[in-house]
Amino acid sequence: MIIAMNYDLLKRLVEAPGVPGQEGKVREIVIDALCGPGYEMETDPLGNLVIHIPGSGPRVLLDAHLDEVGFLVQSVDPATGFIRFVTAGGVDPRVAYGQPVIVWGHETLRGTIGAVPPHLLSGKNGDMERVPAVEDLFIDTGLPADRIRANVSPGDQITFLPNWHLDQDAVQGKALDDRIGLFVMIEAVRASRDMACDLYLTASVQEEAGLRGAGPLTRRIVPDIAIAIEGTIANDLPGVPQHKTLARLGEGPEIRLSDGRFIADQAISSFLVRCAQDAGIPHQVVVKKVGGTNAAAFQVEGTGARATALSVPVRYIHSPVCIARRADMENTATLLREFLRRVREFTPG
């Protein structure tokens, strides 16, 4: 039976700010959603949340990362109040210019990412067509400079607006990479009654800043099997050739065999495929050479682990508005539940 999911939880996750290194508000939501009798829960010095659900069987690590791409305040112009910033994670300047943002300072402020209008640049067409570099952008709140100076400090986080919208088929919002992974992991565990493993759930930090939270987690837990649960690139767009579409919306979870940072363990990936086939869950097996997840770190850190990535297809990842299908989320959560129920059947071969 397909899992019925609580989309109010996803809304809360999307609306919370959490750029790399400042994931606390998102972590609080996960703690609230996953606290349960018999669950062992702690946060490590880096900020990773670790939840242990003791059981017999292989030691399984399921991970989704807390952080989102965004920005950090670099400085405030003392005369004008314009805010200069740097990126936190991979944000393409083409999706930043002109976007409304929230500056999470002492006072929460709304602003717009601005730059000198292209028609006021020097007369060469090249200047008019150039995408402004991040260092040429600024945030304009329209407020007096003294108010900005009193409320905004270097290091304050800046995020896109939530842009939340839900209908019967799809969801739109910021930060679906990887709030969608957290959501799927939580709902799968909530719906599981017979988990055939010793289970560790981790909500990791600083994935978007170079997979920094994953290494300490795997060295600490030493899992037999590790699965990174992600929102992944769906490039099924007009004009994109079939071999470059990667995952597609509406075709179920992506079971990844390779990306730009790792080659998945074939045995555990094949076991996920078998679980999906036996339960009649639509899925797509993807081989690619781009992107990367915490699975790359889980695979090689410490003593190593059998690692793969299970992902929900998302269009326009790392942008102000991402789009995903409800059916893909529900099928991903259902596949995770099936995996947890059957994992004791897994044999490396």
- Taking Cα atoms as reference points, which of 66, 70, 62 lies closest to residue 25? 66
Angle between helices 266-279 and 326-342 (to 10 degrees): 110
* Chain centroid, CA 288 distance in Å: 19
Residue 291 CB-half CA count within 13 A: 23
The Cα 314–Cα 176 span in angstroms is 7
CB 218 within 8 A of CB 296: no
Q: How many CB atoms lie within 10 A of CB 57?
A: 16
CA 321 to chain centre: 13
Say if residues 343 and 225 touch (Cβ distance below 8 Å). yes
Q: C-alpha angle with apex 246: 242 to 250, nearest 5 degrees?
A: 95
What DSSP element (H or E) covers 117? none
| 13 within 8 A of 33, measured Cβ to Cβ | no
Cα distance between residue 226 and residue 305, in whole Å? 6
Token readout for 336 is: 């995770």
Coil, strand, or helix at residue 283?
coil
Nearest-angstrom CA–CA distance, 320 and 179: 14
Catalytic residues: 207
Encoded amino acid at 301, one letter? E
Amino acid at 348: P
How many whole angstroms separate alpha carbon 165 and alpha carbon 171? 6
Q: What angle do CA 211, 215, 221 make, to 5 degrees?
A: 135
Element (H, E) at 119: none
